[in-house]
Amino acid sequence: MYDIVIIGSGPAGHTAALEAAKCKLKTAIIEREPEKIGGVCLNEGCIPLKGLLHYSMHETDYHYIRGNVMQRVGFIRDGLRNRMENAGIDIINGEARFKSPHEIEVAGKTITFGNMIIAVGSSSKKIFNNPAVYAPEKIFELGEVPKKALIIGGGVIGCEYASFLNNIGVSVDIVELMDSILFGEDMESVRTVAREFKKKNIKLFEKSEVMGISTDREVQIRSGDTIIMEKYDMIFEATGRRPNTGRIGLDIAGVKVDEKGFIEVNNNMQTSAPNIYAAGDCIAGPMLAYAAAREASTVISHITKSWQGNIDYDMMPKLVFSCPQLGSVGVSVEKAKKKGIDFRVYKYFFKAIGKAVVEGRDAGFLKLIADVNEGTIIGAAGVGNEMADIFNELTVIIQSKIKIAALKECMFIHPSYSEIIAEALNWG
């Protein structure tokens, strides 16, 4: 019998397994695709896509880029497997299905456990049942690079894929049903990304809908009152993701799901079966690797120390790895207004940041939302390059409630992209 069994080896699964093993719990992790240890994030999502984007800034040969990236992904995957094995974690291969709240069957064998973490992740939605339409992960196994591609969906995945394809010379169109691409993000930031996309000849059909797709990839697009017919070499659907909760027998274990199939959990990530927890993309919330990892840590802390979960998703930084990147964290201008906060916005442009200018990557800006009475930064949004590291810094600043006066006393490395934080506070 295991102290804890985990279904899925993605960011939630392997984080939970490693932390459980560190706490001396007898741990097993079940992975139905052993060649994909690390889950979607490592094998066909976060890591390889960011690799494609990085190399495509300097190289346009798709097959060279892909080969280089996937080789490095293999190194990471092997390292993760070795790390789990060295920690004494049993890796069990096969499809899992519950037999009871304390038993699960894998490859014909019954495994008993004290606690369980469901970390089965998610998969791409399929709205268009057409062989001419591919799921986003097809981008990692292209035979021939298309000359012209359509991406259905202008969310995070769609914009990141569009950036990569555009970088390697593909003509890209995006069709987005909502009022704008990246709907729900800071609108000033979204307008900047849209403007940069148009400069790069990425064509945006916003407030538009795909009405039909023929088997030879001719697409009917309704944009306002206009019907447009376009033919593409390749079509990708990036209309969201759905939880992989349908085949593991949750009802047998007494685990409840909502109307969309997401597992219902409390603040401790407990399901309706008290000894069964869930984390990552299979619960309703942000589908982010670092969110999944934090949720997994919350589970282990609750099991081993009875700590109560208190994840503040509103303070979780978000980043779109488009070209340029878009990020946000904390309180937005709109939320500050609704909350009646006396706030000030500090804003500075990358066109005034030496490193960005000399490297030819000076599109965008950073704006900081400050609470005037507290003298602290409570939120930020912006567009530019190297934004992931900038927003990591801002997350620490915001959550630690560091005073603006203290930040102004700090010296930032010059030249750097992150010095825009200091420049915004001093001159914005």
Asked whether residue 213 is domain-assigned, the answer is yes
**Among 217, 237, 257, which residue terminates a domain?**
237
**Integer Cα distance of 32 and 51 in angstroms:** 25
Helix, strand, coil shares, percent, the chain, to 5: 35, 30, 35
| pTM of structure | 0.95
Q: What percent of the chain has pLDDT over 70?
A: 100
Answer yes or no: do 410 and 335 share one domain.
yes
Answer yes or no: do 35 and 176 share one domain.
no
Answer yes or no: do 14 and 96 share one domain.
yes
Answer yes or no: do 355 and 420 share one domain.
yes
Cα angle for residues 33, 36, 38 (degrees, 5° grid): 120
**Integer Cα distance of 178 and 182 in angstroms:** 9
Q: How many domains does the chain have?
A: 3
Asked whether residue 177 is domain-assigned, the answer is yes
Asked whether residue 272 is domain-assigned, the answer is yes
Answer yes or no: do 74 and 112 share one domain.
yes
Residue whose token pair is 């199939």: 261
Answer yes or no: do 151 and 8 share one domain.
no
Answer yes or no: do 72 and 24 share one domain.
yes
CB distance 49 to 66 below 8 Å:
no
> What local confidence, expressed as pLDDT, does residue 428 receive?
80
**Integer Cα distance of 174 and 192 in angstroms:** 16
> Domain of 53: which CATH number?
3.50.50.60
> Domain of 339: which CATH number?
3.30.390.30
Give the number of C-alpha atoms closer than 13 A to the C-alpha of residue 258, restricted to the C-beta side: 11
Q: Which domain covers residue 140, as residue numbers?
A: 133-237
Asked whether residue 319 is domain-assigned, the answer is no
**Among 197, 213, 237, which residue terminates a domain?**
237
Answer yes or no: do 68 and 210 share one domain.
no
Q: Which residues pair with 235 in a beta bridge?
A: 133, 150
Asked whether residue 342 is domain-assigned, the answer is yes
CB distance 242 to 123 below 8 Å:
yes
Answer yes or no: do 158 and 210 share one domain.
yes
Answer yes or no: do 143 and 231 share one domain.
yes
Answer yes or no: do 188 and 224 share one domain.
yes
Q: What single string gives the DSSP state of each residue in 181-233?
A: TTTTS-HHHHHHHHHHHHHTT-EEEETEEEEEE-TT-EEEEEETTEEEEEE-S
CB distance 116 to 6 below 8 Å:
yes
DSSP H or E segment with residue 356? helix 354-358
**Among 286, 314, 342, which residue terminates a domain?**
314
pLDDT per position as a tens digit, 159-208: 999 999 999 999 999 999 999 999 999 999 999 999 999 999 999 999 99
Asked whether residue 30 is domain-assigned, the answer is yes
Asked whether residue 381 is domain-assigned, the answer is yes
Residue whose token pair is 């992989």: 244
Q: What single string gives the DSSP state of each residue in 39-105?
A: HHHHHHSHHHHHHHHHHHTT---HHHHHHHHHHHHHHHHHHHHHHHHHTTPEEEES-EEEEETTEEE
> What local confidence, expressed as pLDDT, does residue 215 receive?
86
Asked whether residue 217 is domain-assigned, the answer is yes
How many angstroms separate the Cα of 219 from the Cα of each of 97, 133, 384? 40, 11, 33
| C-beta contacts of 103-108 below 8 A and 24+ residues apart | 104/5, 104/7, 104/30, 106/30
Answer yes or no: do 280 and 302 share one domain.
yes
Digit-by-digit pLDDT tens for the chain (428 residues) are: 999 999 999 999 999 999 999 999 999 999 999 899 999 999 998 999 999 999 999 999 999 999 999 999 999 999 999 999 999 999 999 999 999 999 999 999 999 999 999 999 999 999 998 999 999 999 999 999 999 999 999 999 999 999 999 999 999 999 999 999 999 999 999 999 999 999 999 999 999 999 999 989 999 999 999 999 999 999 999 999 999 999 999 999 999 999 999 999 999 999 999 999 999 999 999 999 999 999 999 999 999 999 998 999 989 999 999 999 999 999 999 999 999 999 999 999 999 999 999 999 999 999 999 999 999 999 999 999 999 999 999 999 999 999 999 999 999 999 999 999 999 999 98
